[in-house]
Amino acid sequence: MSDNAHNPVLGIDLGTTYSCIARWDGRGPDVYTLACGNRTLASVVYYDEVNNDFLVGEIAIKKGMINPENSVFGVKRKMDNRNEKIVLGGNTLSPIDISQKILEKLMADVTNMFPKGVFKSQGVVVTVPYYFKAHQCRNTEEAAEKAGINVLGILQEPIAAALAYMLQLEKNQLLKDRTEVFLVFDLGGGTFDLTIFELKVKPEKIFFEVLATGGDDRLGGLDFDLAIMNYLIESEKLMDHFVVPPNLKGNALERKRKEIKIAEQELMKNAKLVKESLAFTPKAYVAIPNVFPGINVDTEITLDQLNQLLVPWVDKVQGILEKTLLASRLKATDVGIVIKVGGSSKLKVMSELLENTFGNNKIYGDINPSECVAEGAAIFAAIQDARLDIGKKIEIQVRTSHALGVEVGDGDFHVIVPANNKSPCQGWEIFCTDTDYITEIDIDVYQGSSNKVVHNSKVGTVHVTGIKPCPKGELDIKVTFMVSDQQVVTVVIEQKESGIYIVEKMQVA
């Protein structure tokens, strides 16, 4: 029998603005209360130069208000570039390193609840947006491994939310013969995911099928906070104070730059509070004493004003929603339940958008948008570790979140497997050599939606040697992609005249 207290399996929601960790307790997911006293951890990292230490969470936010150059937030948006340099107090770190610090803090808070040597997790599932590309998933897994975590798997956040919904149905004794279509609307601090599922419950099996996915890994609460901040700067006539006089030098220049950074931090903090407050009230009061020396902010922002500020992003969300519905071949009326996930999904304008699209009384309220992803990850960890038994087999049928293809010509992206294809799936194309008498080539595999590979994500390269020398255009090379339900793509390269048959596997999610 598993010791779910001292040797549990865990689920971690590594979020843009907040992160969360849960365990499987034998009956269901249990979200930990952390050392800060909250059930979520602010995904902010600060370098304390005095103690040569990295701080994570609310203390990092507070310290960052004084020395903003030593803090970083929103690193999840940077996980597509492992080589980006983030400088904190003279330390140069990568987005993977920053994510590692957040994961280490989550694990340390849980481990330190027990006497030394008593607690040891048997494995952890870490979540990522469905719309993350292969390298973003790999970077997340590397951050977890560097944090000393035994990674059981990387799980897409909407699937985690779907599993949390499934277990809630089971607790309410509703997990009986049923077929329904539901939407996971996941709008967090930095990313946006839409996933349409069909759930079929039979006496012996629970079957989830992803019908369509859509999203944007550059859309979320940080954009809304920035829009509110810019509104405050404009309405309070603060723009001139953000200008650095050209004659400033030395210490005076450094003081001015720090003054601007502190003002930005204060304005962003209050913008976030405004956004959260207007999810429940028609107006929010903003008071910031000495945002610049001798300059105070004393104003109100109404819900109508916020909604007007958010029009460009609401329109973008609406467009993605319509595109995803089209890909699913469903009408809005076919969707029976809408599950909201992520802090920004709580905004009234998003609830109104969902109600206008799908109808009233379809938003599911018996789930916590801020915790359900960590809960679902813990459920998935329990499935992986054979700790969950509800008397039914659980199957999940996924789809490709992005198109898969190869580079051709002058950096063009040639699609072999389109996006939103049910996995497992496959596709193939015949290509001709484009250079005289070549004997080897590199076939670069990409994932994305742009018609140029430079804007897509490189999954890997297959190096082909031993090609029979011929004039260009005379040899055919067949490239086949076979995508498994675990989102592993098997790349098969065939060239008959040269006797070439190469098989390589690459992880795409």
Mean model confidence pLDDT for the chain: 94
Closest C-alpha among 286, 242, 291 to residue 266: 291
Question: What DSSP letter does each residue of 203-267 carry, written as one string?
Answer: SSEEEEEEEEEEEETT-SHHHHHHHHHHHHHHHTT-GGGGPPPTT--HHHHHHHHHHHHHHHHHH
Q: In this prediction, what percent of the chain has a pLDDT beyond 70?
A: 100
Asked if the structure places residue 109 within a domain, the reply is yes
Range of the domain at 485: 403-507
Predicted confidence band of residue 90 (pLDDT cuts 50, 70, 90): confident
Identify whether residues 29 and 132 lie together within a single domain.
Answer: yes
Q: How confident is the model at residue 241, as a pLDDT?
A: 95
Q: How confident is the model at residue 271, as a pLDDT?
A: 96
pLDDT at 147 over 80: yes
Asked if the structure places residue 422 within a domain, the reply is yes
Asked if the structure places residue 343 within a domain, the reply is no
E-assigned strands of 163-204?
178-187, 192-201
CA–CA distance, 266 with 289 (Å, rounded to integer): 10
For the residues 225-246, what does the mean pLDDT come to? 95
Q: How confident is the model at residue 429, as a pLDDT?
A: 96
Number of domains in the chain: 3
* Amino acid, single-letter form, for residue 43: S
Final residue of a structural domain among 280, 309, 338:
309
Residues 6+ apart with CB under 8 A from 312: none
pLDDT at 139 over 80: yes
Q: How confident is the model at residue 446, as a pLDDT?
A: 95
Q: What is the pLDDT of residues 175-224, one digit of tens each?
A: 888 899 999 999 999 999 999 999 999 988 999 999 999 999 889 999 99
pTM: 0.91
Q: How confident is the model at residue 162, as a pLDDT?
A: 96
Identify whether residues 36 and 114 lie together within a single domain.
Answer: yes
pLDDT at 287 over 90: yes
Q: What is the pLDDT of residues 161-174, one digit of tens each?
A: 999 999 999 888 88
Helices (H), 72-213: 95-111, 134-146, 157-171
Tell me the three state secondary structure of residue 500.
strand
Q: What is the pLDDT of residues 448-467, one digit of tens each?
A: 989 999 999 999 999 999 99
Beta partners for residue 126, in sequence order: 12, 154
Asked if the structure places residue 374 within a domain, the reply is no
Asked if the structure places residue 250 within a domain, the reply is yes
For the residues 365-382, what does the mean pLDDT come to? 95
Final residue of a structural domain among 141, 157, 173:
157
CA–CA distance, 350 with 345 (Å, rounded to integer): 6
User: Computed over its alpha carbons, how large is the radius of gyration of the chain?
Assistant: 25
Q: How confident is the model at residue 434, as a pLDDT?
A: 87
Identify whether residues 32 and 128 lie together within a single domain.
Answer: yes
Q: What is the pLDDT of residues 320-350, one digit of tens each?
A: 999 999 999 999 999 999 999 999 999 999 9
CA–CA distance, 346 with 276 (Å, rounded to integer): 8
| Geometric angle at alpha carbon 460, from 457 and 464, rounded to 5° | 140
Predicted confidence band of residue 1 (pLDDT cuts 50, 70, 90): low
8 A C-beta contact, residue 221 and residue 272:
yes
Closest C-alpha among 487, 337, 397, 390 to residue 24: 390
Q: How confident is the model at residue 268, as a pLDDT?
A: 95
Asked if the structure places residue 198 within a domain, the reply is no
